[in-house]
Structure 1
Amino acid sequence: MTARPLNGIRVVDMSSFVAGPTAGRVLAELGAEVIRVDPISGAVDGNRWPVTDDGASLYWAGLNQAKKSVTVDLRSEAGRRFVTDLVADSGILLENAAHAPWLDNTVLTRHRPDLIHLHVEGHADGTPAVDYTVNAEVGLPLMTGAPSSDTPVNHVLPAWDLLTGLYAALGLVTALRRRDQTGQGSYLQLALGDVALSAVASMGWVAEADRSGAARGRQGNALFGSYGADFPTADGRAVMIVGLTTGQWRALVDVTGTADIFSALERHRGLDLSVEADRYAARDAITAVLQPWFAARSLAQLEAEFDGTRVLWSAYRTLAEVAADIRCREGDGVVQEVVQPGIGTMLTSRSPLRWSGVYTDATAAPVSGAHTRDVATAAGLDSRTIDDLVESGVLGEAEAK
C-alpha cells in the first residue's frame, strides 16, 4: 500500500512515556506526519529501559518510530512561540504536559480556532497516575496470582497505557472526521484512570463486585467462568490449555482419551461439562484428571498429539524464544527488522493492521532534533532565521556524525 489513509495529516506530539507516544506511533503508521517536540536537552523518556549495552533506549526507539523530531528550548518565549506557531500550522496537538499554561487549549485556539487538541492525563481531576498505580486502584493485582497468596501481583505489561494510546489515536481521528464535516475543532481529555476503570466495568467486573459485595477470589492461571489451566510437561516445559467452547472441550477430551472418566464425573456431580459454567465449577477435578496425561509427555509429543485438532493451547515461552522464532521466520509477521540510528539493526513492531492482507513496513525512530531545520523551513522560516534560532539555543539540531 503506497498511500496510507492519514497521508497529508500533520500532528504535533508533545507527549512522553507510553500512552501518548503510542498514539503518535499509531497515527504515524497510518501515514500521518507526526512531529515529536522535545527539549533540547533530550526527551524526558529518552533513556528509559530496556537499553542497549551502550545505553541507547530500545524503548524510545520502539515507541517513536516513523516520527520526526524537533528540539526546542521550551522555557524560552521564542521557543514557545515557535511551538505555538507549529501547532497552529499543523492543526492537531497530542500532549500530556501537566500544568503548562502556554499549552492551555484556550490559549492555543486563539491561534487556530479549529484546533484538534488531545490532552492525556492521569486522573480526570488532574491528579497524577501511571499504569502501575491505576492498576492497583482498579483491583487487578489482588485478583492476580496464586489462590494461596495474599500479596498483590502486578503484571509487567503497561496495559492501561497502551489502551489509552489507542483511545487517544481513535479520538484524534474521530475529531479530524468531525472537523472535516463541520469545520469545528475539538478539545479532548483522556485520563488513564478512566480508561482502566472503563475497561474493567465494560467486562461486567464492577457490576459483579457491586452485586456480590465481595472481591472475586484469585484464580491462579485458571480461566474465570470456563475451563483453562496450565500443565507442566515431562521435559520441564509448561503449556496453557483452554476449553472455551464446546468444540474445544470435546477435542481436548478426545485427544487425551478421558471421555469415560469425565462421563463418570458428570454423573457423580450432576454436571454437564459441555456447559462452560459446569466446566468452571469442576475445574480442579478436571485438572487433576488431565495432569498425569500432560506430565507423561514432552512438549514435542504434545505438539504432535495436538496437530490438526481443535485443541486450543500454547506453550509458555520466554521472550528470547519469541525473538529467536521471529528471526527464523525472516520478518514475515508483525515484527520487522529496521536499521535504527544509534543502535543498528533491531526488531520492532509494524502496524498489526493488514491492508488487503499486507502489513505496512516499519520505519526507524528519528535521532533527537533530526528534523528541526526541515520542519522550521516547512513552517515558513528562512535559513537565516533558523540559523539565528539555532545559534541562540532556541532550536536544537541533531549532532553531526
Structure 2
Amino acid sequence: MSDKETPLRGLRIADFSHFIAGPFATMILADMGAEVIKIESAGTGDNFRHYPPHIGGESVPYLWVNRNKKSVALDLKTPEGRAVALDIVAKSDVVVENFSTGVMERLGLDWATLSHDNPRLIYASVSSYGRRGPYANRIGFDPVVQAESGFISMNGDPAQEPGYRAGPSVMDIATAMMTANAIQGAWIARLRTGRGQLVETTMIETAINMLGNFSLSYLATGVSPTRFGNTQATASPVGAFETATGPIYLACANDRTFQRLARDVLLDPALADDPAYATSAGRRENQQRLLSDIRARLKQQDRDTSLARMHEAGVPCGAIRTVGEAMDAPEIKELGLVSSIAHPTLGTIPNVGLPMHFSETPLAEPVAAPLLGADTDAVLRDVLGYAPERISGLREEGVFG
C-alpha cells in the first residue's frame, strides 16, 4: 500500500468482480488510493482478459478497467483456495462481487457468511436485476438493459425503428459509478457506526436513472418520450450541422444565445429579427424551417471559423469529432487526462485517467493492470503473513493454477 496521502488511503478491497460493472467501480476506488486485491480464477483469470483487441498478448479492455490493482490467482473450487480467499476477506474492509446469483453462496463467500464473522465488513453486490425475486437469475448485458429500460427507444433517428443502443457500455460504466459511490457512503457510515453493511446496485435501476428527467416526465404525464434525434424537445436550435469543412454540434437554450448565434456568428440580422424566431416557443414551433435556415448559412463557413465565432460569442458548440480526434484534442491534452504508464511486459501503454483533481489528497500514481496472479506471493506474504513454505505448499497443491 502506498504511503502517499490519497483520498482513500487505508481502505482495502477484496475484489471478486469481472468484466466492467464491478472492476470499473474498484478501479475508481483504487485510483483514489484504496488497495484493491483482485481475486481471479487460476488459469483463466477475469474473462475480460480474453476480449479483443490485444497488444502483446494483453487485452486492451482488461487494461482499461483494472489499473492500480493487485492480482491474486486462486482456484476457488478447492477448499485451500477458498481458505486463502477467506483470509484475504478477513484482512479487508470491503468485498465487491458481480457473479451470477448464487455463486458466492456456493463458494461460502456470501454476505450472510462473511458478515457473521466480520460485522465491520462492507459487502457490495452488483447484479443486473437484483438478488431476490423472479428476475434474480436472469443474465443481463449492457445493450439488453439499454433496451429494457427504454433507453434505446429514445436514441436514434425519429424515422427509424426501434432506435439505437449507445456504442460504449454506458450502463455498465454508470452502474460502476453508482457502486463506487455506494461503497464510499457505506465506509463513511462505518466511521460513525462502527458497523459494515450490504450494499446492492443493479444495472436495470441504474439504466432507469440514466433516462434522466424523462423517467419522471412519463410518471407525471403518462406519455412516453419519443426519439428526437440530434434535436431537443425543450429548446431550439439544438443539433448537428454541417459546415463547409466538417460537422459541428451547437445548443441554443435561450433567446439571448440565439440572438448571438444569428448576429455574431451567422452575421444575419434578418434571421435574428424574424418574428417566428423571437421566442423559444416560436423557435420550437418553427423548428424545421429554422434548422434549414441555419444549415444553409453554416454550409457557407468553414468549421474552424464557425467554432471560433461561436466560442467568442458565447454560443455552446463543438466539433463532432472521431474518437481519434477527441483523444488528440488540445482540451484533453491541457487537462492531462491521457498519459503513458509502465507495463511489466509491454514496456509502456497508453492510459486514460479519471476526471478528478484533488488539491490536497491527489489520486494514486497510475500502475498498469496486473498480469494474472502477479501479486499472489506478495499478498499472501505481506497481507496475510504466510510463510514461504506455506506458499510453496499451496502452489504445489495447484491452488494458484
Instruction: Choose from 44, 47, 50 the match for 2:50.
Output: 47
- What corresponds to 1:56 in structure 2? 58
Equivalences for residues 54-203 of structure 1 within 5 A: 54-98=56-100, 99-100=102-103, 101=105, 102-124=108-130, 125=133, 126=136, 127-200=138-211, 203=212
Tell whether the 8 Å contact from 2:151 to 2:207 is kept in structure 1 after alignment.
no
Q: Check 1:234–1:61 CA distance in 2 against 1; reply closer, same or farther (3 A cut).
A: same
Partners of 2:40 and 2:91 in 1: how far apart? 18
Q: Which moved more, 1:282-291 or 1:334-343?
A: 334-343
Q: Secondary structure at the match of 1:346?
A: strand
Equivalences for residues 260-299 of structure 1 within 5 A: 260-266=270-276, 272-273=278-279, 275=280, 277-299=281-303
Q: Secondary structure at the match of 2:47?
A: coil
Equivalences for residues 203-282 of structure 1 within 5 A: 203-227=212-236, 228-235=238-245, 237-254=246-263, 255-266=265-276, 272-273=278-279, 275=280, 277-282=281-286
Partners of 1:329 and 1:30 in 2: how far apart? 21
Tell whether the 8 Å contact from 1:122 to 1:191 is kept in structure 2 after alignment.
yes
State the shift of 1:323 in Å.
3.0
Q: Secondary structure at the match of 1:46?
A: helix
Q: Check 1:158–1:240 CA distance in 2 against 1; reply closer, same or farther (3 A cut).
A: same
> What RMSD over aligned residues (CA atoms) do the two structures have, in Å?
2.3
Partners of 2:119 and 2:309 in 1: how far apart? 64
In structure 1, runs of 5+ residues without a counterpart are 397-401
Code of the residue aligned with 1:94 in structure 2: it is V
Write out per-residue CA displacement over residues 149-184 of structure 1, whole angstroms, 9 at most, x where no aligned residue: 123311112111111111111111111111121111
In structure 2, runs of 5+ residues without a counterpart are none
Tell whether the 8 Å contact from 2:6 to 2:362 is kept in structure 1 after alignment.
no
The normalised TM-score by structure 2 is 0.89
Q: Check 1:48–1:234 CA distance in 2 against 1; reply closer, same or farther (3 A cut).
A: same
Q: Check 1:2–1:48 CA distance in 2 against 1; reply closer, same or farther (3 A cut).
A: same
- What corresponds to 1:29 in structure 2? 31
Tell whether the 8 Å contact from 2:244 to 2:303 is kept in structure 1 after alignment.
yes
Instruction: Choose from 364, 372, 375 the match for 1:371.
Output: 375
Q: Check 1:133–1:311 CA distance in 2 against 1; reply closer, same or farther (3 A cut).
A: same
The normalised TM-score by structure 1 is 0.89
Q: Percent identity?
A: 26
Partners of 1:356 and 1:106 in 2: how far apart? 40
Q: Check 1:357–1:323 CA distance in 2 against 1; reply closer, same or farther (3 A cut).
A: farther
Partners of 2:286 and 2:357 in 1: how far apart? 40
Tell whether the 8 Å contact from 2:74 to 2:400 is kept in structure 1 after alignment.
yes
Tell whether the 8 Å contact from 1:6 to 1:30 is kept in structure 2 after alignment.
yes
- 1:323 maps to 2:327: yes
Partners of 2:361 and 2:90 in 1: how far apart? 35
Tell whether the 8 Å contact from 1:5 to 1:30 is kept in structure 2 after alignment.
yes
